[in-house]
Chain A
Amino acid sequence: MSKLQGKTALITGGNSGIGLATAKEFLAQGADQVIITGRNQQALDLAVQELGDKAQSILCDSTQMTHIRQLAEAVKALTPSLDIIYINAGISEFAPLEHITEDHYDHVFGTNVKGVVFTVQQLLPLLNEGASIILCSTAGVQKGFPGASVYVASKAALAGFIRIWATELAGRKIRVNSISPGFTNTPLFDKVGLSEEQKQGAMELYNSKVLMGRFALPDEIAKSVTYLASNDSSYVTGTDLLVDGGYKLT
Protein backbone atom coordinates (compact mmCIF):
# COMPACT_ATOMS: atom_id res chain seq x y z
CA MET A 1 0.00 0.00 0.00
CA SER A 2 2.52 2.58 -1.04
CA LYS A 3 1.30 3.83 -4.38
CA LEU A 4 1.55 7.45 -3.28
CA GLN A 5 4.72 7.26 -1.21
CA GLY A 6 6.41 10.67 -1.14
CA LYS A 7 3.48 12.50 -2.71
CA THR A 8 1.75 15.63 -1.54
CA ALA A 9 -1.90 16.03 -2.50
CA LEU A 10 -4.54 18.70 -2.35
CA ILE A 11 -8.24 17.82 -2.43
CA THR A 12 -10.82 20.58 -2.75
CA GLY A 13 -14.08 19.81 -1.01
CA GLY A 14 -12.22 17.23 1.04
CA ASN A 15 -14.13 17.32 4.31
CA SER A 16 -16.96 14.93 3.43
CA GLY A 17 -18.25 12.34 0.99
CA ILE A 18 -16.06 11.40 -1.96
CA GLY A 19 -13.45 14.04 -1.09
CA LEU A 20 -12.96 12.74 2.44
CA ALA A 21 -12.92 9.10 1.29
CA THR A 22 -10.25 10.04 -1.25
CA ALA A 23 -8.15 11.79 1.39
CA LYS A 24 -8.30 8.61 3.48
CA GLU A 25 -7.33 6.42 0.54
CA PHE A 26 -4.43 8.73 -0.42
CA LEU A 27 -3.07 8.45 3.12
CA ALA A 28 -3.65 4.70 3.17
CA GLN A 29 -1.53 4.56 0.01
CA GLY A 30 1.34 6.27 1.76
CA ALA A 31 0.93 9.91 0.72
CA ASP A 32 3.26 12.21 2.69
CA GLN A 33 0.79 15.02 3.11
CA VAL A 34 -2.86 15.57 2.20
CA ILE A 35 -4.36 19.04 2.29
CA ILE A 36 -8.12 19.33 2.17
CA THR A 37 -10.17 22.43 1.54
CA GLY A 38 -13.75 23.19 2.44
CA ARG A 39 -15.97 26.08 3.42
CA ASN A 40 -16.81 25.04 6.96
CA GLN A 41 -13.99 25.24 9.52
CA GLN A 42 -15.69 22.92 11.97
CA ALA A 43 -16.21 20.23 9.33
CA LEU A 44 -12.58 20.66 8.22
CA ASP A 45 -11.30 20.29 11.77
CA LEU A 46 -13.32 17.13 12.30
CA ALA A 47 -12.06 15.69 9.02
CA VAL A 48 -8.42 16.47 9.81
CA GLN A 49 -8.86 14.87 13.23
CA GLU A 50 -10.19 11.76 11.51
CA LEU A 51 -7.41 11.75 8.89
CA GLY A 52 -4.51 12.09 11.29
CA ASP A 53 -1.34 14.11 11.48
CA LYS A 54 -0.42 13.94 7.80
CA ALA A 55 -3.58 15.89 6.97
CA GLN A 56 -4.03 19.66 7.02
CA SER A 57 -6.86 21.91 5.99
CA ILE A 58 -7.41 25.24 4.32
CA LEU A 59 -10.65 27.14 4.71
CA CYS A 60 -11.59 27.94 1.11
CA ASP A 61 -15.08 28.41 -0.27
CA SER A 62 -14.81 27.22 -3.86
CA THR A 63 -17.89 29.25 -4.77
CA GLN A 64 -16.00 32.48 -3.93
CA MET A 65 -13.41 33.88 -6.33
CA THR A 66 -11.86 35.90 -3.51
CA HIS A 67 -11.12 32.66 -1.66
CA ILE A 68 -9.79 30.94 -4.80
CA ARG A 69 -7.43 33.86 -5.50
CA GLN A 70 -5.81 33.33 -2.10
CA LEU A 71 -5.53 29.56 -2.34
CA ALA A 72 -1.97 29.30 -3.65
CA GLU A 73 -0.65 31.51 -0.84
CA ALA A 74 -2.42 29.38 1.73
CA VAL A 75 -1.04 26.18 0.18
CA LYS A 76 2.50 27.62 0.12
CA ALA A 77 2.29 28.09 3.87
CA LEU A 78 1.87 24.30 4.16
CA THR A 79 3.98 22.88 1.34
CA PRO A 80 6.36 24.19 -1.32
CA SER A 81 4.88 21.99 -4.04
CA LEU A 82 2.14 19.53 -4.96
CA ASP A 83 2.09 16.20 -6.83
CA ILE A 84 -1.65 15.64 -6.97
CA ILE A 85 -4.62 17.96 -7.12
CA TYR A 86 -8.11 16.53 -7.05
CA ILE A 87 -10.70 19.17 -7.80
CA ASN A 88 -13.66 17.63 -6.06
CA ALA A 89 -15.46 20.75 -4.82
CA GLY A 90 -18.55 21.54 -6.82
CA ILE A 91 -22.19 22.25 -6.35
CA SER A 92 -25.12 20.07 -7.28
CA GLU A 93 -28.21 22.15 -7.79
CA PHE A 94 -31.04 21.13 -10.01
CA ALA A 95 -33.88 22.93 -11.78
CA PRO A 96 -36.07 22.06 -14.77
CA LEU A 97 -35.71 24.43 -17.73
CA GLU A 98 -38.76 26.54 -16.91
CA HIS A 99 -37.45 27.17 -13.40
CA ILE A 100 -33.83 27.94 -14.25
CA THR A 101 -32.97 31.38 -12.89
CA GLU A 102 -29.98 33.50 -13.75
CA ASP A 103 -28.82 33.02 -10.15
CA HIS A 104 -28.96 29.23 -10.49
CA TYR A 105 -27.00 29.39 -13.74
CA ASP A 106 -24.39 31.81 -12.39
CA HIS A 107 -23.97 29.89 -9.16
CA VAL A 108 -23.49 26.49 -10.85
CA PHE A 109 -21.23 27.73 -13.66
CA GLY A 110 -19.42 30.11 -11.32
CA THR A 111 -18.35 27.24 -9.09
CA ASN A 112 -18.20 24.19 -11.33
CA VAL A 113 -16.57 25.86 -14.33
CA LYS A 114 -15.06 29.26 -13.47
CA GLY A 115 -14.02 28.09 -10.02
CA VAL A 116 -12.25 25.06 -11.49
CA VAL A 117 -10.35 27.11 -14.08
CA PHE A 118 -9.00 29.57 -11.55
CA THR A 119 -8.31 26.98 -8.85
CA VAL A 120 -6.14 24.99 -11.25
CA GLN A 121 -4.52 28.18 -12.56
CA GLN A 122 -3.68 29.26 -9.00
CA LEU A 123 -2.07 25.94 -8.17
CA LEU A 124 -0.25 25.46 -11.46
CA PRO A 125 3.03 27.10 -10.36
CA LEU A 126 3.14 24.76 -7.36
CA LEU A 127 2.83 21.57 -9.38
CA ASN A 128 5.87 19.31 -9.65
CA GLU A 129 6.94 17.74 -12.92
CA GLY A 130 4.88 14.56 -13.41
CA ALA A 131 2.00 15.82 -11.27
CA SER A 132 -1.54 14.51 -11.74
CA ILE A 133 -4.61 16.74 -11.95
CA ILE A 134 -8.01 15.08 -11.55
CA LEU A 135 -11.28 16.93 -12.06
CA CYS A 136 -14.55 15.58 -10.71
CA SER A 137 -17.18 15.36 -13.43
CA THR A 138 -20.38 13.28 -13.29
CA ALA A 139 -21.93 10.26 -14.98
CA GLY A 140 -24.78 12.64 -15.79
CA VAL A 141 -22.67 13.93 -18.67
CA GLN A 142 -22.91 10.49 -20.31
CA LYS A 143 -26.58 10.00 -19.51
CA GLY A 144 -28.58 12.83 -18.06
CA PHE A 145 -31.63 13.07 -15.91
CA PRO A 146 -34.43 15.66 -15.85
CA GLY A 147 -33.69 18.83 -13.91
CA ALA A 148 -29.94 18.52 -14.24
CA SER A 149 -29.35 20.52 -17.41
CA VAL A 150 -27.29 23.37 -15.98
CA TYR A 151 -25.40 21.08 -13.61
CA VAL A 152 -24.61 18.53 -16.34
CA ALA A 153 -23.62 21.27 -18.79
CA SER A 154 -21.22 22.70 -16.21
CA LYS A 155 -19.61 19.27 -15.76
CA ALA A 156 -19.53 18.65 -19.52
CA ALA A 157 -17.38 21.76 -19.80
CA LEU A 158 -14.65 19.92 -17.89
CA ALA A 159 -14.16 17.57 -20.85
CA GLY A 160 -12.79 20.53 -22.76
CA PHE A 161 -10.46 21.47 -19.93
CA ILE A 162 -8.93 18.03 -19.50
CA ARG A 163 -8.18 17.58 -23.19
CA ILE A 164 -6.66 20.98 -23.73
CA TRP A 165 -4.81 21.19 -20.43
CA ALA A 166 -3.42 17.70 -21.01
CA THR A 167 -1.82 19.05 -24.18
CA GLU A 168 -0.71 22.33 -22.66
CA LEU A 169 0.85 20.69 -19.60
CA ALA A 170 2.35 17.61 -21.27
CA GLY A 171 5.68 19.42 -21.57
CA ARG A 172 5.88 19.39 -17.76
CA LYS A 173 4.75 15.74 -17.78
CA ILE A 174 1.64 16.79 -15.90
CA ARG A 175 -1.33 14.53 -16.60
CA VAL A 176 -4.91 15.82 -16.57
CA ASN A 177 -7.90 13.50 -16.32
CA SER A 178 -11.41 13.47 -14.94
CA ILE A 179 -13.52 11.04 -13.03
CA SER A 180 -17.26 10.66 -13.55
CA PRO A 181 -18.96 9.12 -10.54
CA GLY A 182 -22.46 7.78 -10.79
CA PHE A 183 -24.90 7.87 -7.89
CA THR A 184 -22.82 7.77 -4.75
CA ASN A 185 -23.88 7.35 -1.17
CA THR A 186 -22.75 10.67 0.29
CA PRO A 187 -24.09 13.16 2.82
CA LEU A 188 -25.18 15.32 -0.14
CA PHE A 189 -28.30 13.21 -0.11
CA ASP A 190 -29.02 14.29 3.46
CA LYS A 191 -28.40 17.93 2.68
CA VAL A 192 -31.23 18.39 0.18
CA GLY A 193 -33.93 18.19 2.83
CA LEU A 194 -35.59 14.86 2.15
CA SER A 195 -37.41 12.93 4.85
CA GLU A 196 -36.08 9.45 5.63
CA GLU A 197 -39.04 8.00 3.71
CA GLN A 198 -38.43 10.23 0.69
CA LYS A 199 -34.74 9.38 0.81
CA GLN A 200 -35.55 5.66 0.84
CA GLY A 201 -37.93 6.10 -2.08
CA ALA A 202 -35.38 8.10 -4.05
CA MET A 203 -32.66 5.53 -3.38
CA GLU A 204 -34.92 2.71 -4.59
CA LEU A 205 -35.83 4.65 -7.72
CA TYR A 206 -32.20 5.41 -8.53
CA ASN A 207 -31.02 1.90 -7.65
CA SER A 208 -33.38 0.56 -10.30
CA LYS A 209 -31.67 2.78 -12.86
CA VAL A 210 -28.21 1.40 -12.16
CA LEU A 211 -27.11 -1.90 -13.68
CA MET A 212 -25.46 -2.94 -10.41
CA GLY A 213 -28.65 -2.12 -8.52
CA ARG A 214 -26.91 -0.06 -5.87
CA PHE A 215 -25.18 3.26 -5.20
CA ALA A 216 -21.40 3.55 -5.16
CA LEU A 217 -19.64 3.73 -1.85
CA PRO A 218 -17.44 6.84 -1.63
CA ASP A 219 -14.51 4.45 -1.15
CA GLU A 220 -15.09 2.94 -4.60
CA ILE A 221 -14.82 6.36 -6.22
CA ALA A 222 -11.74 7.09 -4.10
CA LYS A 223 -9.95 4.00 -5.45
CA SER A 224 -10.55 5.16 -9.01
CA VAL A 225 -9.26 8.64 -8.17
CA THR A 226 -6.20 6.96 -6.64
CA TYR A 227 -5.58 5.05 -9.87
CA LEU A 228 -5.53 8.35 -11.78
CA ALA A 229 -3.44 10.07 -9.08
CA SER A 230 -0.76 7.40 -8.85
CA ASN A 231 2.01 6.39 -11.23
CA ASP A 232 -0.09 3.35 -12.12
CA SER A 233 -1.75 5.61 -14.69
CA SER A 234 1.51 7.15 -15.92
CA TYR A 235 0.41 6.90 -19.57
CA VAL A 236 -3.18 8.07 -19.02
CA THR A 237 -3.93 11.71 -19.83
CA GLY A 238 -6.72 13.73 -21.38
CA THR A 239 -9.35 11.13 -20.61
CA ASP A 240 -12.32 10.47 -18.35
CA LEU A 241 -12.95 7.48 -16.13
CA LEU A 242 -16.61 6.63 -15.67
CA VAL A 243 -17.37 4.94 -12.34
CA ASP A 244 -21.12 4.52 -12.51
CA GLY A 245 -22.02 0.89 -11.83
CA GLY A 246 -23.44 0.64 -15.34
CA TYR A 247 -25.87 3.58 -15.03
CA LYS A 248 -25.01 4.69 -18.56
CA LEU A 249 -25.71 1.24 -20.00
CA THR A 250 -29.21 0.76 -18.66
Chain B
Amino acid sequence: MSKLQGKIALITGGNSGIGLATAKLFAQEGATVIITGRDQVTLDTAAREIGDGTIAIRSDAGQLADLDALFQQIKTEFGGLDILFANAGIFKNAPLADSTEALYQELFDINVKGVFFTIQKAESLLRDSGAIVINASTVAHVGTPGASLYAATKAAVRQLARNLSMELAARRIRVNVVSPGVTHTAIFGRLGYSEEQAAAGFAHLAGEIPLRRVGQPEEIAKAVLFLASDDSSYVVGEEILVDGGYSTIGTPGVQR
Protein backbone atom coordinates (compact mmCIF):
# COMPACT_ATOMS: atom_id res chain seq x y z
CA MET B 1 0.00 0.00 0.00
CA SER B 2 2.16 2.84 -1.17
CA LYS B 3 0.23 4.76 -3.76
CA LEU B 4 1.50 8.06 -2.34
CA GLN B 5 5.05 7.09 -1.38
CA GLY B 6 7.25 10.16 -1.06
CA LYS B 7 4.39 12.61 -1.67
CA ILE B 8 3.64 15.63 0.44
CA ALA B 9 -0.07 16.24 0.92
CA LEU B 10 -1.93 19.16 2.45
CA ILE B 11 -5.43 18.52 3.75
CA THR B 12 -7.32 21.57 4.92
CA GLY B 13 -9.82 20.83 7.65
CA GLY B 14 -7.88 17.65 8.28
CA ASN B 15 -8.63 17.47 11.98
CA SER B 16 -12.03 15.77 11.78
CA GLY B 17 -14.53 13.86 9.65
CA ILE B 18 -13.71 13.33 5.99
CA GLY B 19 -10.49 15.36 6.22
CA LEU B 20 -9.16 13.25 9.09
CA ALA B 21 -10.13 9.95 7.44
CA THR B 22 -8.36 11.09 4.27
CA ALA B 23 -5.27 12.16 6.21
CA LYS B 24 -5.06 8.71 7.82
CA LEU B 25 -5.46 6.95 4.49
CA PHE B 26 -2.88 9.17 2.80
CA ALA B 27 -0.41 8.48 5.62
CA GLN B 28 -1.03 4.73 5.29
CA GLU B 29 -0.27 5.07 1.58
CA GLY B 30 3.11 6.59 2.35
CA ALA B 31 2.46 10.33 2.14
CA THR B 32 3.75 12.98 4.50
CA VAL B 33 0.58 14.68 5.67
CA ILE B 34 0.02 18.29 6.67
CA ILE B 35 -3.38 19.06 8.19
CA THR B 36 -4.97 22.37 9.02
CA GLY B 37 -7.94 23.32 11.16
CA ARG B 38 -9.16 26.09 13.36
CA ASP B 39 -8.75 24.38 16.71
CA GLN B 40 -5.29 23.59 18.05
CA VAL B 41 -6.49 20.92 20.49
CA THR B 42 -8.33 18.81 17.90
CA LEU B 43 -5.43 19.38 15.50
CA ASP B 44 -2.93 17.96 17.98
CA THR B 45 -5.15 14.97 18.75
CA ALA B 46 -5.68 14.34 15.06
CA ALA B 47 -1.96 14.56 14.28
CA ARG B 48 -1.21 11.94 16.93
CA GLU B 49 -3.94 9.69 15.50
CA ILE B 50 -2.62 10.04 11.95
CA GLY B 51 0.86 9.10 13.05
CA ASP B 52 4.49 10.15 13.28
CA GLY B 53 5.64 12.86 10.95
CA THR B 54 2.21 14.47 10.61
CA ILE B 55 2.28 18.24 10.69
CA ALA B 56 -0.69 20.11 12.16
CA ILE B 57 -0.94 23.83 11.46
CA ARG B 58 -3.62 26.06 12.91
CA SER B 59 -5.13 27.94 9.98
CA ASP B 60 -8.59 29.30 9.24
CA ALA B 61 -9.39 28.63 5.57
CA GLY B 62 -11.53 31.76 5.47
CA GLN B 63 -8.67 34.06 6.56
CA LEU B 64 -6.25 35.01 3.80
CA ALA B 65 -3.56 36.02 6.29
CA ASP B 66 -3.74 32.54 7.79
CA LEU B 67 -3.34 31.04 4.32
CA ASP B 68 -0.28 33.18 3.62
CA ALA B 69 1.33 32.05 6.87
CA LEU B 70 0.41 28.41 6.14
CA PHE B 71 2.03 28.32 2.72
CA GLN B 72 5.07 30.24 3.95
CA GLN B 73 5.57 27.55 6.60
CA ILE B 74 5.10 24.72 4.08
CA LYS B 75 7.57 26.39 1.73
CA THR B 76 10.16 26.70 4.48
CA GLU B 77 9.72 23.18 5.85
CA PHE B 78 9.03 21.16 2.70
CA GLY B 79 9.85 23.31 -0.31
CA GLY B 80 6.83 22.07 -2.22
CA LEU B 81 3.59 20.09 -2.34
CA ASP B 82 2.33 17.17 -4.43
CA ILE B 83 -1.29 16.96 -3.34
CA LEU B 84 -3.81 19.46 -2.07
CA PHE B 85 -7.16 18.33 -0.71
CA ALA B 86 -9.20 21.53 -0.31
CA ASN B 87 -11.56 20.05 2.19
CA ALA B 88 -12.20 22.75 4.78
CA GLY B 89 -15.79 23.86 4.70
CA ILE B 90 -18.80 24.41 6.88
CA PHE B 91 -22.42 23.32 6.64
CA LYS B 92 -25.22 25.58 7.85
CA ASN B 93 -28.75 25.74 6.63
CA ALA B 94 -31.61 28.24 6.71
CA PRO B 95 -34.69 28.81 4.59
CA LEU B 96 -34.64 31.80 2.25
CA ALA B 97 -36.56 34.11 4.57
CA ASP B 98 -34.21 33.47 7.49
CA SER B 99 -30.93 33.62 5.56
CA THR B 100 -28.99 36.57 6.87
CA GLU B 101 -26.15 38.46 5.25
CA ALA B 102 -23.90 37.12 8.00
CA LEU B 103 -24.79 33.52 7.12
CA TYR B 104 -24.19 34.23 3.44
CA GLN B 105 -20.83 35.78 4.22
CA GLU B 106 -19.73 32.98 6.52
CA LEU B 107 -20.62 30.19 4.08
CA PHE B 108 -19.14 31.86 1.03
CA ASP B 109 -16.01 33.07 2.88
CA ILE B 110 -15.02 29.60 4.03
CA ASN B 111 -16.49 27.34 1.35
CA VAL B 112 -15.71 29.39 -1.77
CA LYS B 113 -13.29 32.23 -1.05
CA GLY B 114 -11.27 29.97 1.24
CA VAL B 115 -11.04 27.20 -1.36
CA PHE B 116 -10.21 29.59 -4.19
CA PHE B 117 -7.39 31.34 -2.35
CA THR B 118 -6.08 28.11 -0.86
CA ILE B 119 -5.59 26.86 -4.42
CA GLN B 120 -4.21 30.19 -5.63
CA LYS B 121 -1.63 30.33 -2.86
CA ALA B 122 -0.78 26.63 -3.19
CA GLU B 123 -0.19 26.86 -6.93
CA SER B 124 3.43 28.02 -6.81
CA LEU B 125 4.28 25.29 -4.30
CA LEU B 126 2.57 22.49 -6.21
CA ARG B 127 4.97 20.40 -8.24
CA ASP B 128 4.24 19.55 -11.88
CA SER B 129 1.93 16.52 -12.21
CA GLY B 130 0.45 17.30 -8.80
CA ALA B 131 -3.18 16.77 -7.91
CA ILE B 132 -5.81 19.01 -6.40
CA VAL B 133 -9.05 17.56 -5.04
CA ILE B 134 -11.88 19.83 -3.93
CA ASN B 135 -14.56 18.67 -1.53
CA ALA B 136 -18.00 19.64 -2.86
CA SER B 137 -21.31 17.93 -2.13
CA THR B 138 -24.12 15.94 -3.62
CA VAL B 139 -26.45 18.80 -2.63
CA ALA B 140 -25.22 20.72 -5.66
CA HIS B 141 -27.08 18.11 -7.76
CA VAL B 142 -30.48 18.10 -6.10
CA GLY B 143 -32.90 20.51 -4.49
CA THR B 144 -32.72 20.51 -0.70
CA PRO B 145 -34.98 22.91 1.20
CA GLY B 146 -32.97 25.17 3.48
CA ALA B 147 -29.65 24.37 1.87
CA SER B 148 -29.67 26.98 -0.89
CA LEU B 149 -26.62 28.94 0.27
CA TYR B 150 -24.61 25.85 1.18
CA ALA B 151 -25.50 24.16 -2.13
CA ALA B 152 -24.57 27.32 -4.03
CA THR B 153 -21.11 27.36 -2.41
CA LYS B 154 -20.59 23.74 -3.44
CA ALA B 155 -21.81 24.31 -7.00
CA ALA B 156 -19.30 27.17 -7.19
CA VAL B 157 -16.32 25.05 -6.21
CA ARG B 158 -17.40 22.21 -8.50
CA GLN B 159 -17.15 24.70 -11.37
CA LEU B 160 -13.75 25.91 -10.14
CA ALA B 161 -12.33 22.47 -10.89
CA ARG B 162 -13.23 22.86 -14.57
CA ASN B 163 -11.67 26.28 -15.04
CA LEU B 164 -8.60 25.64 -12.94
CA SER B 165 -7.97 22.35 -14.74
CA MET B 166 -7.66 24.36 -17.94
CA GLU B 167 -5.29 26.85 -16.35
CA LEU B 168 -3.08 24.26 -14.71
CA ALA B 169 -3.04 21.72 -17.57
CA ALA B 170 0.29 22.96 -18.92
CA ARG B 171 1.86 21.91 -15.63
CA ARG B 172 -0.07 18.60 -15.75
CA ILE B 173 -1.75 19.42 -12.45
CA ARG B 174 -5.15 17.75 -12.34
CA VAL B 175 -8.06 19.35 -10.48
CA ASN B 176 -11.00 17.12 -9.56
CA VAL B 177 -13.91 17.09 -7.17
CA VAL B 178 -15.29 14.60 -4.70
CA SER B 179 -18.96 15.08 -3.85
CA PRO B 180 -19.98 13.20 -0.74
CA GLY B 181 -23.56 12.47 0.14
CA VAL B 182 -24.73 12.25 3.72
CA THR B 183 -21.63 11.19 5.63
CA HIS B 184 -21.31 10.03 9.21
CA THR B 185 -19.40 12.94 10.75
CA ALA B 186 -19.80 15.28 13.71
CA ILE B 187 -21.97 17.56 11.56
CA PHE B 188 -25.11 17.29 13.72
CA GLY B 189 -23.10 17.89 16.86
CA ARG B 190 -21.77 21.09 15.34
CA LEU B 191 -25.30 22.20 14.56
CA GLY B 192 -26.07 21.83 18.28
CA TYR B 193 -27.90 18.49 18.32
CA SER B 194 -27.46 15.83 21.00
CA GLU B 195 -25.93 12.47 20.16
CA GLU B 196 -29.38 10.88 20.28
CA GLN B 197 -30.80 13.48 17.93
CA ALA B 198 -27.82 13.02 15.61
CA ALA B 199 -28.39 9.25 15.48
CA ALA B 200 -32.08 9.79 14.72
CA GLY B 201 -31.14 12.33 12.06
CA PHE B 202 -28.75 9.94 10.31
CA ALA B 203 -31.31 7.11 10.54
CA HIS B 204 -33.95 9.32 8.93
CA LEU B 205 -31.57 10.38 6.16
CA ALA B 206 -30.53 6.77 5.53
CA GLY B 207 -34.13 6.07 4.55
CA GLU B 208 -33.79 8.59 1.71
CA ILE B 209 -30.72 6.90 0.26
CA PRO B 210 -30.91 3.94 -2.15
CA LEU B 211 -28.13 2.06 -0.31
CA ARG B 212 -30.18 2.61 2.87
CA ARG B 213 -27.28 3.89 4.93
CA VAL B 214 -25.18 7.02 5.28
CA GLY B 215 -21.60 7.01 4.03
CA GLN B 216 -18.56 6.58 6.23
CA PRO B 217 -15.72 9.14 6.06
CA GLU B 218 -13.37 6.30 5.03
CA GLU B 219 -15.48 5.68 1.91
CA ILE B 220 -15.11 9.30 0.84
CA ALA B 221 -11.39 9.15 1.63
CA LYS B 222 -10.95 6.27 -0.83
CA ALA B 223 -12.42 8.36 -3.63
CA VAL B 224 -10.07 11.21 -2.70
CA LEU B 225 -7.15 8.78 -2.78
CA PHE B 226 -8.17 7.62 -6.25
CA LEU B 227 -8.29 11.22 -7.48
CA ALA B 228 -5.03 12.18 -5.75
CA SER B 229 -3.05 9.17 -7.00
CA ASP B 230 -1.78 8.16 -10.43
CA ASP B 231 -4.68 5.68 -10.66
CA SER B 232 -6.71 8.60 -12.02
CA SER B 233 -4.00 9.93 -14.34
CA TYR B 234 -6.51 10.58 -17.18
CA VAL B 235 -9.23 12.08 -14.97
CA VAL B 236 -9.28 15.87 -14.98
CA GLY B 237 -11.93 18.49 -14.21
CA GLU B 238 -14.24 15.68 -13.20
CA GLU B 239 -16.29 14.82 -10.16
CA ILE B 240 -16.94 11.60 -8.31
CA LEU B 241 -20.25 11.39 -6.51
CA VAL B 242 -19.92 9.24 -3.40
CA ASP B 243 -23.46 9.43 -2.17
CA GLY B 244 -24.97 5.95 -2.13
CA GLY B 245 -27.10 6.94 -5.10
CA TYR B 246 -28.76 9.86 -3.27
CA SER B 247 -28.55 12.48 -6.01
CA THR B 248 -28.97 10.37 -9.10
CA ILE B 249 -32.12 8.66 -8.01
CA GLY B 250 -35.28 10.66 -7.64
CA THR B 251 -37.58 8.43 -5.66
CA PRO B 252 -35.82 5.80 -3.62
CA GLY B 253 -38.05 3.32 -1.85
CA VAL B 254 -39.86 2.09 -4.93
CA GLN B 255 -39.25 -1.56 -5.79
CA ARG B 256 -37.61 -2.83 -2.67
Q: Which residues of A contact B (CB under 8 A)?
A: 162-164, 166-168, 170-171, 173, 175, 182, 211-212, 216-217, 220-221, 223-224, 226-227, 232-239, 241-246, 248-250
- Contact at B237–A170, with CB atoms within 8 Å? no
Most buried by B among A216, A217, A237: A237
**How many residues on B have C-beta within 8 angstroms of the other chain's C-beta atoms?**
37
Interface residue SS majority, chain A: mixed
Q: Which residue of B lies closest to A181 (CB)?
A: B234
Known A166-B210, A171-B256, A237-B211; contact A216-B234, beta-carbon cutoff 8 A: yes
Chain A residue nearest in CB terms to B251? A167
Specify the main secondary structure of chain B where it touches its partner.
Answer: loop
New contact pairs (8) apart from A212-B236, A246-B237, CB-CB < 8 Å: A166-B210, A167-B210, A170-B210, A175-B211, A227-B232, A243-B235, A244-B235, A246-B169
Q: Is the CB of A233 within 8 A of B236?
A: no
Task: Tell me which residues from 195 to 254 in chain B have a Cβ below 8 Å from any Cβ of chain A.
Answer: 210-212, 215-216, 219-220, 222-223, 225-226, 231-238, 240-245, 248-249, 252, 254
**Please, how many angstroms separate the alpha-carbon atoms of A216 and B242 in the complex?**
24
Pair B249/A238 contact, Cβ less than 8 Å = yes
- Cross-interface CB contact of B232 among A173, A223, A233, A248, cutoff 8 Å: A223
Report the minimal beta-carbon distance from A41 to chain B, rounded to whole angstroms: 32
In-complex Cβ contact of A234 among B166, B219, B252 (8 A) = B219
Complex Cα gap A168–B254 (Å): 8
Which of B172, B236, B244 has the largest number of chain A CB atoms within 10 A? B236
> Cβ of A250 and Cβ of B166 under 8 Å apart?
yes
Cβ–Cβ contact A220 & B212, under 8 A: no
Q: Is the CB of B252 within 8 A of A243?
A: no
| Of A164, A216, A239, the contact of B240 (CB 8 Å cutoff) | A239
B→A interface (CB under 8 Å) = 162, 165-166, 169, 172, 181, 210-212, 215-216, 219-220, 222-223, 225-226, 231-238, 240-245, 248-249, 252, 254-256
**List of B residues within 8 angstroms of A227 by Cβ:** 223, 226, 231-232
B245 near A246 (CB under 8 angstroms)?
no
- Closest Cβ neighbor of B244 among chain A residues: A235
On whether the beta carbons of A246 and B236 are closer than 8 Å, the reply is yes
Separation in Å of the A10 CB from the closest CB of chain B?
A: 22
Q: Do A235 and B234 touch (CB < 8 A)?
A: no
Q: Please determine whether A237 and B240 come into contact, CB atoms closer than 8 angstroms.
A: no
Contact present for B232 and A224 (CB under 8 Å): yes
**Provided the pairs A236-B223, A238-B249 are in contact, do residues A248 and B181 lie with their beta carbons within 8 angstroms?**
no
Q: CB < 8 Å: which of B211, B235, B249 contacts A173?
A: B211
Chain A proximity of B86: nearest CB distance (Å): 19
B211 in contact with A241 (CB, 8 Å): no
Q: Which partner residue on chain A sits nearest B220 by CB separation?
A: A235
Q: Is the Cβ of B234 less than 8 Å from the Cβ of A166?
A: no
Q: Which residues of A contact B225 (CB under 8 A)?
A: 232
A175–B172 CA distance with the chains assembled, in angstroms: 32
**Which residues on the B side are within 8 Å of A171 (C-beta)?**
256
Pairwise interchain contact A224-B210, C-beta atoms closer than 8 A: no
Point out the residues of chain B lying under 8 angstroms from A212, CB to CB: 169, 172, 234, 236
Closest partner residue, chain B, to A172 (CB atom): B256
Interface residue from B210, B223, B233 paired with A237 (Cβ < 8 Å): B210
Question: Are B219 and A235 in touch, CB under 8 angstroms?
Answer: yes
How distant is A85 from chain B, measured CB to nearest CB, in Å? 18
Q: In the docked arrangement, what's the CA distance between A151 and B112, Å?
A: 39
Point out the residue from A221, A239, A245 that lies within 8 Å of B241, measured CB to CB: A239
Which of A168, A175, A221, A236 has the most chain B CB atoms closer than 10 A to its own CB? Answer: A236
Q: Which of A167, A238, A243 contacts B234 (CB 8 A)?
A: A243
Residues of A within 8 A of B165 (CB): 211, 246, 249
**Measured CA separation A246–B176 after assembly (Å):** 11
Bound complex: CA A246 to CA B161 (Å): 11
